[in-house]
Amino acid sequence: MKAAHYLPLFTVFLVTACGPQPSEGTGSSAESVQATVEKPAVETVEGVTTVRIDGNDRMQFTLTEFTVKAGDTVRIIFENKGRMPKTAMGHNVVVLKKGVDANAYAGKAALARDTDFIPASEADSVIAHTKLLGPEESDTIEFTAPEPGDYVYLCSFPAHCFAGMRGIMTVKE
Ligand SMILES: [Cu+2]
């Protein structure tokens, strides 16, 4: 199978496409979140940190904090373990750039139903995001861990971020 040879190139493309833009750091405005980690699922192998996060029908992420090293590749494997239909209980993971107001982003996202709650007007606020998932669906995203700091990730389905479906990615030197 020749396709395997193209994978590294494809990965580089993904990282480039989703990589952070240099922006003025306004310091960390990330709010602290309650960490109810049921199943720590963070593993780093040769510069790639794989993070497994599940969503459920109670509007929760199974992982609400993780730490990565600046410059490493972050691979988030997100799975919707709920049973409710996507229209009522869809989930995604949106990783915001440093300093972006998560509540403001979520408020705008809630109005963007046509684009699965990823508002095009706020694209500059996002490092990377998964697709909106229905029950038993999964999606994987990759990006390069940006400069050190705290970065909020959230589900942008209406009301989910406000209900607590958010977490913090800490990037260390
Ligand atoms: Cu959600």
DSSP sequence for 23-74: -------PPP-----SS--EEEETTEEEEEEEE-TTS-BS--EEEEETTSEE
Nearest to 80 by CA among 90, 68, 88: 90
pLDDT, tens only, 76-115: 999 999 999 999 999 999 999 999 999 999 999 999 999 9
Q: How far apart are the CA of 46 and the centre of ligand 1, in A?
A: 31
What confidence tens digit (pLDDT) does each residue in 27-64 have?
444 444 454 544 458 999 999 999 999 999 999 999 99
| Strand-strand pairing, 166-172 and 65-69 | parallel
d(CA 172, CA 149) in angstroms, rounded, equals 7
Distance in Å, CA 47 to ligand 1 centroid: 29
How many whole angstroms from 63 Cα to the centroid of ligand 1? Answer: 13
pTM above 0.85, yes or no: no
Calculate how far, in angstroms, residue 55's C-alpha sits from the geometric centre of ligand 1: 7
Q: How many whole angstroms from 130 Cα to the centroid of ligand 1?
A: 12
Phi/psi at 170 (5° precision): -100, 125
* 62 CA from centroid of ligand 1 (Å): 12
Query: Percentage of the chain with pLDDT > 90?
Result: 76
Whole-number Å distance, alpha carbon 156 to ligand 1 midpoint, is 6
Ligand 1: centre distance to CA 141 (Å): 17
Q: Which domains does the chain have, with CATH numbers?
A: 32-172 (2.60.40.420)
